Structure 1
Amino acid sequence: MKLTFLGGYPPDLLAQTADAIRQGTLGPSLLRRYPEAHEARNDAALRDYVMTFKNQYLRSTPPLSHIGYDNRLHVIRNALGTHATISRVQGAKLKSRREIRIASLFRTMPEVFLRMIVVHELAHLRERDHDKAFYQLCRHMAPDYHQLEYELRAYLCWLEITGEALWT
């Protein structure tokens, strides 16, 4: 069984996750742990959610001109979220816009998974690369960041293999 989203994790953890998927226990376990989806279902609610974190942890970073769900982000082939800086020349000035787009899959997930991806994309406002400083910032905003990332990746493996979405 290929666990596409769990590359780089230790073999024993991969085996344990594969067994849980094979036995059909991973999905129900995640559903018991996180029974409900979040309420930020539209772009306006997502913007409020993201801005709460940005204002609390990253006040000095440049403003965000767009925050929203993106139906074009395909989780299996692309990304869970994106951050972009778009620069345009306006007269004699260079104008920059910063955007965060979250895959539409997150509209119906538990709040903890939305928090994980939001924290990840916000951390890119300050740290471009996935290096030690980046993950320290992620843990500063969400102390359980690594656990949430693993659980989200395990759920994505469950979804890819079984096709069974847990939250709607």
Structure 2
Amino acid sequence: MSDLSYLRGYSEGLLEQIQALIDKDKLGQFILNKYPHAHDLKSDKALYDLAVGLKKAYLKSSGPLSKVLYDNKISLKQQALGLHSFVSRVQGKKLKAKNEIRIASVLKKVPLEFMRVILVHELAHLKEKEHNKAFYKLCKHMEPGYFQLEFDLRVYLTYHEMKGSLYL
């Protein structure tokens, strides 16, 4: 049995289907059939622009984003795809707040749908800090196919862990 740690919590039936694809060496082709191309967001600026566009469309009243960037230090082994941080500091007599999103650099080579679901997840933390019902409702509002895309991303990460990137 393969390591399906990215898929923990999903039904036994789904896990068996993924394991069958792995056993037949067809998981990569399964993913490529659904998501044939990687995104072209190679720079931090392009990533920032996508995140700001999503934020403007769905989270107009939340605080501004100061940074959105790829981070080489984020490890998929820790199962962190992205990190949202909120930093407050006093400058003179003013309280300055910064929202930053950092995305694991290995995700430079994934389909745009996967990058969107990661950004939606991190942006939702601007309003909802915890992974609760309101958080996932907001994610689904911003990306109607959120749950399917999150599952597909986890399937891809399972493949990536075994064989590396599918996308060049």
State the aligned residue count. 167
Q: SS at the partner of 1:9?
A: coil
Structure-2 separation of matches of 1:131 and 1:14: 24
What amino acid maps onto 1:101 in structure 2? R
Corresponding position of 2:20: 19
Q: SS at the partner of 1:126?
A: coil
Corresponding position of 1:167: 167
Alpha-carbon deviation of 1:164? 3.2
What amino acid maps onto 2:96 in structure 1? K
What amino acid maps onto 1:90 in structure 2? Q
Structure-1 separation of matches of 2:126 and 2:150: 19
Q: Following TM superposition, where does structure 1 have runs of at least 4 consecutive aligned residues deviating by more than 3 angstroms?
A: none
1:138 aligns to 2:130 (yes or no): no
Corresponding position of 1:66: 67
Structure 1 unaligned residues grouped into runs of 5+: none
Structure-1 separation of matches of 2:164 and 2:23: 13
Corresponding position of 1:3: 4
Q: SS at the partner of 2:89?
A: strand
Alpha-carbon deviation of 1:92? 3.0
Q: SS at the partner of 1:48?
A: helix
1:39 aligns to 2:20 (yes or no): no
What amino acid maps onto 2:108 in structure 1? R
Show CA shifts across 1:98-138 (max 9, x none): 10111112211110000110100000000111111111111
Q: Aligned residues: percent identity?
A: 48
Structure-2 separation of matches of 1:116 and 1:13: 20
Corresponding position of 1:54: 55
Q: SS at the partner of 1:150?
A: helix
Corresponding position of 1:98: 99
What amino acid maps onto 2:111 in structure 1? P
Alpha-carbon deviation of 1:29? 1.1
Q: Which moved more, 1:131-140 or 1:32-41?
A: 32-41
**Contact 2:6-2:79 within 8 A present in 1 as well:** no
Corresponding position of 1:89: 90
What amino acid maps onto 1:143 in structure 2? P
